Amino acid sequence: MLRMNLNKLGMLRLAAVSPMLKISDTEFNATEIITCISGCNDKGVEIVVFPELSITAYTCGDLFFQSTLLFAAEQALLKICDCTKELKIIAIIGLPLIVGSKLFNCAAVIQQGKILGIVPKTYLCNYSEYYEKRWFVSEFERITDFVKIDGKLIPFGADLLFSANSNNKLKFGVEICEDMWAVKSPGLDLALNGASLIFNLSASNEYLGKYQYRRELIKNYSSKIYAAYIYSSSSPLESTSDTVFSGNLIIAENGKILQESKRFSFETQLIINDIDFEHLINERIRSNTFAVCFTDKSFREIEFELPEVEINELLRVISKTPFIPENMEERDFVCNEISDIQATALARRFMHTKSDTAVIGISGGLDSSLALLSTIKCFQKLNKRLDSIIAVNMPGFGSTAKTKNNAIKLAELYGVSLRIVDIKDSVNQHFNDIGHPSDKYDITYENAQARMRTLILMDIANQSNGIVVGTGDLSEIALGWNTYNGDHMSMYGLNSGIPKTLIKYIVAWYADHESRVEIAKILKDIIKTPISPELLPIDESGVNLQDTEKSIGPYILNDFFLYYFVRCSFSSGKILKLAELAFKDNFKVEEIKMWLILFYKRFMSQQFKRNSMPDGIKIGSVSLSPRSDWRMPSETDISLWIKELNG
């Protein structure tokens, strides 16, 4: 069984709970909260948040003026502390609290029987069906930094920032309901002072349209401040005299909803997920707009002990294909968007160059097929004749009948111009010119064919006042799996922003939306064809045994490594562990490590090719263009990354 330390992975297990409650029955509510805290602790949760005023219920109304209720609420908090003093889990609980002669709507942060701090609500909701100012005062009216509870002075104020004593990067802050809806929410200042986790104790009622708005607000808010947002709202067991609550729970991370609860249930609702706080911090480091944002608010830092959690499995999903949308319902939108981006980018280049033709080398493989499909869409956008697309098939020593036939059929069925230029005689003449044996199957043998093909494409483009449309993809660019000044070069790299796994996905989408059965059949056959440069001679049965993925590793692994290395800036050790989790049913750990080491060796050594790559459109969040996205020295040493993997 796989065991791992969650915090060493840069992750944290968090929960949001909306417990069963009874209005004003603080003893019942405290017991439910204690049960929930204990249950969360057993599940490895490190921080759990409860709804606003969860000890008393939110809808107590003028009962908040009753000293009996207020005293009982404070005693209930102490009971919760006492009953959870053996647990390292942090709990954030809502209650009304008298400080001086003022009543505040508060969040108590507790751990191991101690109250770490009390955060009052900043913005009181006092419009429509809400009238909180009838009972409470806000943070703006606070005049003290401490409150005495059970004889102990407790830090008090919305200027509290909770910081892990074992990891100075990990900080969290607390908002209460309306604070999130305010124009300038406290979470903004908390985030700018280092909080990557924001917990919201809420009592947000339901009416038509509010749920969707609230959900989008949380999602967008978490994205804007590069944070995880953990939201817990009151149960339907609140009073329904005038409004209804739903027990809505949401965990969002940097613009993505990781999990949410069933609404309108009278049972206790609980959601748990694993937050990648290291990724959040890395995102902030990458964003210079976040770095230069200024806040003049200072915070008092309250230290807490971060629980060490050993787990068997992650609760968050680690996708094997991070470049591909997880939600298949989004497929049409995503593929349409990519095809529009490609077609528009190429069209703009044609408008500028005033070229007559597009010249594409078609091999019958995935990359050249997508380039052809996208170029066809570009020409349709420009109202140009499709026979102005010149598809060039250039069979060599390793070309198979299957790939050649698929390429030719595709060109013919789409009505583009087709030219077949056999390169074998030209390459053999070149071998004779440079004194290279034609039966020496080395890198010269392979690269000579790639460079000959590029020479042919460039010259045909000159002949026809055209531009050469590059077919190489992002994965090949990352790994340097292209011939320098061969297929590495074109006049516009149309696929340069799309990784191999995504290209297969897009071609499949084109096939599914193709009305002509014969074309769809060819595209599906291309998808199933093993990926090969077809540069070494075929065997007696006409099969090319040169398999790219056996040389450089499965593309599904390489794209996984690429995403987490470039997009997320994760360490090699973390990438290995995430890959181990994602591919536990597909590859042995030793295999993953072997291919990851090769990935680093190839990626670090191939920057010189990327430094001179042609223009090409950015498609997703990962791009390796040296002009816009990725800059590194060609002489980078990889020792640090390999040492971590071998350590």
Active site residue 121: yes
Residues 414 and 293 in one domain: no
User: What pLDDT is attached to residue 2?
Assistant: 62
Of 311, 338, 356, the residue that ends a domain is 311
CATH number of the CATH domain containing 70: 3.60.110.10
Residue from 177, 335, 378, 568 carrying the catalytic annotation: 177
Which amino acid is residue 466, in one-letter code? G
Domain assignment present for residue 318? The answer is: no
Residues 301 and 388 in one domain: no
Residues 258 and 344 in one domain: no
Cβ–Cβ under 8 Å, residues 111 and 90: yes
Cβ–Cβ under 8 Å, residues 265 and 279: no
Residues 209 and 270 in one domain: yes
Domain assignment present for residue 319? The answer is: no
Give the integer Cα–Cα distance in Å for 60 and 234.
Answer: 13
Residues 275 and 359 in one domain: no
Domain assignment present for residue 152? The answer is: yes
Give the integer Cα–Cα distance in Å for 126 and 22.
Answer: 24
Give the integer Cα–Cα distance in Å for 331 and 402.
Answer: 29
- The beta strands (E) that lie in 254-411 are given as 256-260, 269-276, 300-304, 310-311, 357-361, 389-393
Domain assignment present for residue 196? The answer is: yes
The count of structural domains within the chain is: 2
Query: Which two tokens mark 539?
Result: 């065997």
User: What pLDDT is attached to residue 367?
Assistant: 96
**Residue-by-residue DSSP string for 552-607:** H--HHHHHHHHIIIIIS---HHHHHHHHHHHTTTTS-HHHHHHHHHHHHHHHHHTH
Residues 249 and 116 in one domain: yes
Residues 436 and 357 in one domain: yes
pLDDT digits (tens, 9 = 90+) for 579-631: 999 999 999 999 999 999 999 999 999 999 999 999 999 999 999 999 989 99
Domain assignment present for residue 248? The answer is: yes
Domain assignment present for residue 207? The answer is: yes
- Of 150, 504, 168, 540, which is closest to residue 331 (Cα–Cα)? 504
Of 311, 341, 369, the residue that ends a domain is 311
User: What pLDDT is attached to residue 574?
Assistant: 95
Residues 306 and 335 in one domain: no
Residue from 36, 40, 74, 121 carrying the catalytic annotation: 121
Residues 300 and 332 in one domain: no
State the residue range of the domain holding 176.
4-311
CATH number of the CATH domain containing 364: 3.40.50.620
Domain assignment present for residue 320? The answer is: no
User: What pLDDT is attached to residue 524?
Assistant: 96
DSSP annotation of 262 reads: P
Domain assignment present for residue 321? The answer is: no
Cβ–Cβ under 8 Å, residues 112 and 305: yes
Q: Which regions of the chain are under pLDDT 70?
A: 1-2, 542-545
Give the integer Cα–Cα distance in Å for 459 and 346.
Answer: 20
Residues 202 and 150 in one domain: yes
Active site residue 335: no
Of 281, 311, 341, the residue that ends a domain is 311
Sign, CA dihedral 106-110-114-119, equals negative
- Of 586, 526, 525, which is closest to residue 560 (Cα–Cα)? 586
Give the integer Cα–Cα distance in Å for 322 and 188.
Answer: 29
Residues 347 and 295 in one domain: no
Give the integer Cα–Cα distance in Å for 35 and 21.
Answer: 12
**pTM across the whole model:** 0.92
Residue from 32, 46, 52, 278 carrying the catalytic annotation: 52
Residues 30 and 147 in one domain: yes
For 181-201, letters b (16+ CB in 10 Å) and e give: beeebbbbbbbbbbbbbbbbb
Give the integer Cα–Cα distance in Å for 40 and 38.
Answer: 5
Active site residue 177: yes
Give the integer Cα–Cα distance in Å for 493 and 616.
Answer: 4
Long-range contacts for 338-342 (Cβ within 8 Å, ≥24 apart)?
338/498, 338/502, 338/506, 338/619, 339/373, 339/374, 339/377, 339/506, 341/617, 341/619, 342/374, 342/377, 342/378, 342/494, 342/495, 342/617, 342/619
DSSP annotation of 140 reads: G
Give the chain's length.
Answer: 647
Give the integer Cα–Cα distance in Å for 105 and 124.
Answer: 9
Residue 5 CB coordination number (10 Å): 12
